């Protein structure tokens, strides 16, 4: 649905983005991650035809963003980061205006605006001017204007910024609900958001693409070893030595000293080994008590920090 090839954008001598290539399939939700100034917004602006690239190509639904800009723009719903709206318009009037520009049929526009107002939870503010709205409601109006013509592609620049937790959950589930029918690119600072909503992640740093993969694959790729947390009730020294003897275990350490001899241990296995299954039999054989056992995956935060500091996947 979206193809980006060797996209480069220079601002004077400074590089906005450098040789970025990726594709997004139809119906996919793609997360765009990167620190401030990494080039997320620049990439989005090029895809939405607001800005041309210095070199490289970007196509949306087969149309080039530079050559067939109008065709691309017909298929895109865009929510810029700053949510720029006309503050002197009332919400429904604004949505009718945008709907009209985006080619919603004139006879259908009232019904469509009513529907989008319902979908985005804007019923409480239909009499208000946009300038009077709180940040959260503005964000929703911004999302509503992007969705008004039911576009095939949605490009959302930090859509949940400035919302309260309840609204964030609502917007996220709204975005998640959009996937499948629509292609969504979503940029964000909030990492758990990506693992919650996106099927694939692009990590970009200093204008360069650092990683493209599913959140799960990224986690797996980056983890050099597998770690398991176990809480065992039993004599400390014996636990350390017995667990240490298990195949593939590279390290055992006490993570936390508990009361009554119940300690939390951190067990590290060599990569690609399924050693976790060998722990319970040992505990049962020794007649210790097992209180807890869970793997620790690398969170997206860890991956992100690792990638933007290392810049390379090994």
**Other beta carbons within 10 Å of 312:** 8
Who's near 24: CB < 8 A, 6+ residues apart? 1, 2, 30, 183, 185, 200
Buried b (16+ CB within 10 A) or exposed e, 185-209: bbbbeebebbbbbbbbbbbbbebbb
- What are the strands of the beta sheet with 289-296, ordered from one edge? 249-256, 262-270, 225-233, 289-296
Smallest distance from another protein to CB 71, Å: 8
Residue closer to another protein (CB basis): 55 or 216 = 55
The residues of the shown chain that bind another protein, judged by CB under 8 A, are 10-12, 45, 48-52, 54, 70, 73-74, 76, 78, 80, 82, 84-89, 93, 97-98, 100-103, 106, 129, 145
**Cα 47 to Cα 3, 4, 240, 307, distances in angstroms:** 9, 8, 56, 25
Smallest distance from another protein to CB 149, Å: 9
Smallest distance from another protein to CB 88, Å: 4
Residue closer to another protein (CB basis): 1 or 228 = 1
Residue closer to another protein (CB basis): 50 or 261 = 50
Measured distance CA(198)–CA(62) in Å, rounded: 23
Signed CA dihedral, 292, 251, 214, 198: sign only = positive
Residue closer to another protein (CB basis): 71 or 268 = 71
Residue closer to another protein (CB basis): 84 or 180 = 84
Smallest distance from another protein to CB 244, Å: 60
Smallest distance from another protein to CB 145, Å: 7
Residue closer to another protein (CB basis): 54 or 299 = 54
Smallest distance from another protein to CB 7, Å: 15
Measured distance CA(221)–CA(304) in Å, rounded: 13
Measured distance CA(64)–CA(48) in Å, rounded: 11
């Amino acid at each position: 649905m979206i193809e980006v090839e060797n996209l480069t954008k220079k601002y004077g001598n400074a590089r906005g983005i450098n040789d970025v290539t990726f594709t997004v399939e139809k119906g996919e939700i793609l997360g765009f991650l990167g620190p401030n100034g990494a080039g997320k917004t620049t990439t989005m602006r090029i895809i939405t035809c607001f800005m041309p690239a210095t070199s490289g190509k970007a196509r949306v639904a087969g149309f080039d963003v530079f050559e067939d800009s109008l065709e691309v723009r017909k298929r895109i719903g865009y929510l810029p980061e700053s949510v720029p709206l006309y503050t002197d318009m009332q919400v429904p009037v604004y949505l009718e205006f945008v709907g009209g520009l985006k080619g919603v049929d004139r006879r259908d526009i009232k019904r469509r605006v009513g529907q989008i107002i319902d979908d985005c939870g804007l019923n409480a503010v239909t009499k208000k001017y946009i300038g009077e709205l709180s940040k959260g409601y503005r964000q929703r109006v911004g999302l509503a204007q992007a969705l008004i013509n039911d576009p095939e592609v949605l490009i959302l620049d930090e859509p949940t910024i400035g919302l309260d937790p309840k609204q964030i959950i609502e917007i996220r589930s709204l975005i998640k609900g959009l996937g499948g029918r629509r292609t969504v690119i979503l940029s964000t600072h909030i990492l758990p958001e990506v693992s919650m909503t996106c099927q694939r992640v692009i990590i970009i740093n200093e204008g360069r693409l650092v990683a493209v993969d599913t959140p799960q694959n990224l986690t797996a790729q980056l983890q050099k070893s597998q770690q398991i947390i176990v809480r065992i009730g039993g004599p400390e020294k014996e636990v350390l030595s017995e667990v240490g003897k298990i195949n593939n275990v590279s390290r055992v350490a006490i993570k936390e000293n508990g009361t009554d001899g119940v300690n939390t241990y951190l067990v590290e296995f060599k990569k690609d080994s399924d050693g976790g299954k060998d722990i319970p039999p040992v505990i049962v054989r020794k007649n210790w008590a097992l209180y807890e056992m869970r793997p620790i995956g690398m969170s997206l935060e860890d991956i992100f920090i690792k990638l933007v500091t290392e810049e390379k996947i090994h």
